Chain A
Amino acid sequence: QVQLVQSGAEVKKPGASVKVSCKAPDNSFSNYGFSWVRQAPGQGLEWMGWVSAHTGYTSYAQNVRGRVTMTTDTSTTTAYMELRSLRPDDTAVYYCSRSTSIAIGTDVWGQGTPVTVSS
């Protein structure tokens, strides 16, 4: 079972930025794209966006558009999600996942990265 390895927990102050990484296996990295999904405490799963490792194409959810940037680095086979102007309601566990297209379901996920935003 392929697994993605995410960076560790983060604690940030309101207004700061956070950048979460997601390390993927080397094989065929550019054949995939990476989604980012988060779950705030007591809430459901929320799709944030998707980035293509092949073209760099991105699609972002409306409620984070303008504050989020998703990128990939083929040299290190790592995907990144940066969220700026953090607010307390950005406190959540952030997951990355890998898929061949933005639309299809995926069975390849990271372990999750808790991000806490608190003054």
Chain B
Amino acid sequence: QSALTQPASVSGSPGQSITISCTGTNIGIDKYVSWYQHRPGKAPKLMIYDVAHRPSGVSDRFSGSKSGNTASLTISGLQAEDEADYYCTSYAITATVLFGGGTKLTVL
């Protein structure tokens, strides 16, 4: 059982915006929260690092934020290609990394 809680699934129509939350007591003190996109049979892809920074090449439709013990990934202008599983990660004071349970995004 993950110490980071994500909704099991979210959905949205093309063009809409969706937000995926990631809640955990560790989030509030962690400046290294990351978000990954994962498709079956592929390696995870980094979408957000250090809470709100976007790697080069990632669409600016993806944004990250944090408030208290909850981090959020927002995808605006939803596209069919965004359909995937999304995971948050957080660095714990035990010098380990936690993964959220994952959220399945469905584009309707």
Contact = CB atoms under 8 A, between A and B. Distances in A.
Interface string B30-46: 00101110100101111
Given A45-B44, A104-B49, A50 B97 contact: yes
Interface residues of A, number: 25
B32 A104 contact: yes
A59 B55 CA distance: 26
B99 interface: yes
Given A45-B102, A107-B45, A102 B50 contact: no
A104 B87 contact: no
A105 B43 contact: no
A17 interface: no
A116 to B, nearest CB: 15
- Listed residue (A37, A44, A106, A111) with the most chain B CB atoms within 10 angstroms of its CB: A44
A32 interface: no
B49 A62 contact: no
Interface of B: 2, 32, 34-36, 38, 41, 43-46, 48-50, 55, 85, 87, 89, 91, 95-102
